[in-house]
Amino acid sequence: MEWLDSIVLPQSADHLTLLRVVGALALIVVYPYLATVVGSTAISLFYRRRANRGDRLAFRFAKDVAESGTVSRSAGALLGLAPLVALVFIYAQLGKGIEDGAATYLVVALLFALAGLSLVYSYRNSIGLRRLFDETEFIGGAPPDLREDARAYADEYRDLNNMSGGWGLVFALVASYLFVAGASVLAFPEDRGSSSLLLYVFTSGKIFLRYLLFLFGGLALAGSLVALRMFYWEGGKKSIETAYAEYAKPRALKIAAFFSLALPALVAGNLFVYPERSLSETVFALSFAALAAILLAFHFLYLGLRRADKFGGGWAYPALVAAFAFLLVGEMTASGEATERNSVMLDREYQAYFAELKGEGGGVEPANGEQIFGTVCAACHSFENKIVGPPYVETLPKYEGDKAALKAFILNPVKVNPEYPPMPAQGLKPNEADAVAEYLLKTYESDYK
Ligand code: HEC
């Protein structure tokens, strides 16, 4: 997948900031969309199974859930896919340097998403026809040739529908797991330590917790969206008669309420996942805003269930979407530091790349240790204060009198202190590393000892 790594170009700091903003917007569209599609497909399959035991209302509900939960025939897929593709490129770009295989990994996730979504949409598009053929096949009066056609179509759609629903859900579940995991790797790069990407992705409890939040959120979103579209939006569907309304409405609202119940605990758990350094006031405030929105959703669901309130239950969906928007902005803030540090690196790469384009090849490489410190290291280090990396007064003592060891670390940094993220390699030439090591040790000895 080198072609993808190669279209990820060096970017200036301004571009990276823009990318992060666009990324946050795309995430706010993709996350609830994917979660709702996964949730509604799971609910629909559950009721379709029931219907196999002869429950006619259950089949109708399975069809309505599939149709309402996936927005519309094809616009939904486009709505989800365009930002998803954008996100893959943005993540590949922001993650460059944090994670070498990131681009390949994200393309695999995207392929699963494509397969999952197209299967889910063929499930959605075939379930209505399947029901139509199943239930009208034996209506008398039709000429024999038409009845034979109806029977053939019925078989065809039953097979298509059976196959696409289950596999679509499986692929969509895998794709969403890969995306949740990918976002986590980007947000807490140090958490992985030295284990391989795949091992980490499939064994991390933190990722699993975040995935549970996605799944429960998806089921709650799906239930409330179905209620909104069947019973509240523009006065609700006109064709729904009382008997079916009494079957479907409490079910949709109760599914939403049941899965929302777990959300506050998962939102709180999500806070524990963040490394301490990411827990700013903003992140706490946004998590509280998310909790408030979830409580509000409860309130609306209660109105919908207990009172035949005019719109009540219809507000639960927007409230839950708002809750997830708050969480995602919090996520972007929390992971800001990780990608921020990475951006310092990428910006440097960009400066060098740009200089090369202008034919200055190497023109920005500073000539002496002090300059290298000022242009390269000072973004993350000072002698006395913690910036991104530890203050030199804490780390240099062990290198005193051993310039070679310091030079080796600078050329090839290894993980040292668990309280800090790993230091990215700076791509210095050996003579430059030597110069900066010399400068650091000298300055330390003369000014800070
Ligand atoms: C992108 C941010 C960043 C840049 C740029 C950076 N460092 Fe670091 N540096 C770190 C972090 C983070 C750590 C802590 C790593 C750890 O403990 O695993 C670190 C640790 C160190 C240490 C302590 C190593 C030890 O054994 O404890 C030294 C020395 C060091 N950096 C030197 C440099 C020099 C010299 C440069 C410039 C050529 C530089 N760093 C550029 C982030 C950076």
- List, for residues 5-16, the tens digit of each pLDDT value: 555 555 555 666
- Residue 362's pLDDT is 47
Place of tokens 């629909």: 44
Q: For ligand 1, atom 1, name the residue with the nearest CA.
A: 341
329-378 residue pLDDT tens: 887 777 665 556 556 666 666 666 666 665 554 444 445 788 888 888 88
Instruction: Give the distance between the most distant pair of CA atoms in the chain.
Output: 103
In ligand 1, which atom is closest to the CA atom of 345? 1
d(CA 112, CA 100): 21
* Residues contacting residue 137 through CB under 8 Å, at least 6 positions apart: 147, 150, 151, 154
In ligand 1, which atom is closest to the CA atom of 388? 12
Residue 396, Cβ density class (10 Å: 0-12 exposed, 13-18 middle, ≥19 buried):
buried
In ligand 1, which atom is closest to the CA atom of 415? 18
Among 190, 381, 386, the mutation site with the greatest number of ligand 1 atoms within 8 A of its Cβ is 381
Q: For ligand 1, atom 25, name the residue with the nearest CA.
A: 395
Q: For ligand 1, atom 40, name the residue with the nearest CA.
A: 377
Kindly give the distance from the C-alpha atom of residue 7 to the centroid of ligand 1, in angstroms, as a whole number.
Answer: 29
d(CA 410, CA 120): 50
In ligand 1, which atom is closest to the CA atom of 396? 29
- Residue 322's pLDDT is 93
- Residue 361's pLDDT is 47
Place of tokens 């823009």: 18
> Which of these, 83, 156, 85, lies nearest to 122 by C-alpha position?
156
In ligand 1, which atom is closest to the CA atom of 406? 29
In ligand 1, which atom is closest to the CA atom of 424? 1
- Asked if residue 400 lies in contact with residue 407, where contact means CB atoms within 8 angstroms, the answer is no
Kindly give the distance from the C-alpha atom of residue 343 to the centroid of ligand 1, in angstroms, as a whole number.
Answer: 15
Q: For ligand 1, atom 38, name the residue with the nearest CA.
A: 377
d(CA 321, CA 289): 12
Residues with CB under 6 A from ligand 1: 341, 344-345, 372, 376-377, 379-381, 388-390, 395, 406, 409-410, 415-417, 420-424, 426, 428, 436, 440
- Residue 296's pLDDT is 93
Amino acid identity for residue 191 in this structure: D
From the first residue on, what is the mean pLDDT of each consecutive set of 10 residues in the chain (449 residues)? 53 65 78 90 91 81 87 69 80 63 73 89 85 68 77 83 91 89 72 70 82 94 90 80 86 92 89 71 87 93 78 86 89 66 61 60 57 84 88 90 88 85 82 88 86
Kindly give the distance from the C-alpha atom of residue 368 to the centroid of ligand 1, in angstroms, as a whole number.
Answer: 18
- Asked if residue 385 lies in contact with residue 391, where contact means CB atoms within 8 angstroms, the answer is yes
Kindly give the distance from the C-alpha atom of residue 386 to the centroid of ligand 1, in angstroms, as a whole number.
Answer: 11
Among 339, 340, 380, 395, the mutation site with the greatest number of ligand 1 atoms within 8 A of its Cβ is 380
Kindly give the distance from the C-alpha atom of residue 385 to the centroid of ligand 1, in angstroms, as a whole number.
Answer: 13
d(CA 269, CA 290): 13
d(CA 169, CA 172): 5
Kindly give the distance from the C-alpha atom of residue 192 to the centroid of ligand 1, in angstroms, as a whole number.
Answer: 19
Among 351, 423, 436, the mutation site with the greatest number of ligand 1 atoms within 8 A of its Cβ is 423
- Residue 39's pLDDT is 94
